[in-house]
Amino acid sequence: MGDEAREPEEYLPLTPAVLDIVLALGDNELHGYGIMREVRRRTDGGRRLAPGTLYRSLRQMQEKGLVEESEERPDADLDDERRRYYRLTDLGRKVAVAEVERLEGLVREARSKGLTPSAPPPGAPAGA
C-alpha cells in the first residue's frame, strides 16, 4: 500500500522534530533556516532543531508525502536562490490535525488523573 493510501493516524505519533516542523509550516512556507528560527521563536529558545535533524526529518517527511518543496519563490532581490522552501501537503495537514487530536486526548486523560501542574490529585480536597 502506498503512503498516499494510508490513513493520517498511521503516521502517528510524530517525533518532536517532525511536530516542530509541522507547526512551523502550519501557516506559511519556509526554508530550512526559517523553520529553525520559527521553532526557536515559538518555544522562546527552549527548543532548537539542529541542521542535521531538520534536513533528515524534512527528507523523511517528503518521502512520506507530508511536505513538498514549494515552486513559488520570493523576489530574487529578497532571497537566496539556493534556498529550498517547504510547505505541508494536504496529507501533511491531515496528519497534523490527527496528531493534535491525539495529543488533546492525552491531555484530557492526564487532567482526569490529576497529572497537570496546577490540578490537585483526584479525590483531594479543594485547595489541597
DSSP 4-20: GGS-GGGGPSPPHHHHH
- Specify the fold of 8-112: Arc Repressor Mutant, subunit A (1.10.10)
- What is the residue-level pLDDT of the chain in tens, covering all 128 positions? 455 578 999 999 999 999 999 999 999 999 999 999 999 999 999 999 999 999 999 999 999 999 999 877 655 555 666 789 999 999 999 999 999 999 999 999 999 998 988 756 666 665 55
What distance in Å separates the CA atoms of residue 97 and residue 116, rounded to the nearest whole number? 23
- Taking only the tens place, the pLDDT of each residue in 81-102 is 678 999 999 999 999 999 999 9
Q: What is the predicted pLDDT for the residue at 96? A: 97
pTM of the model: 0.82
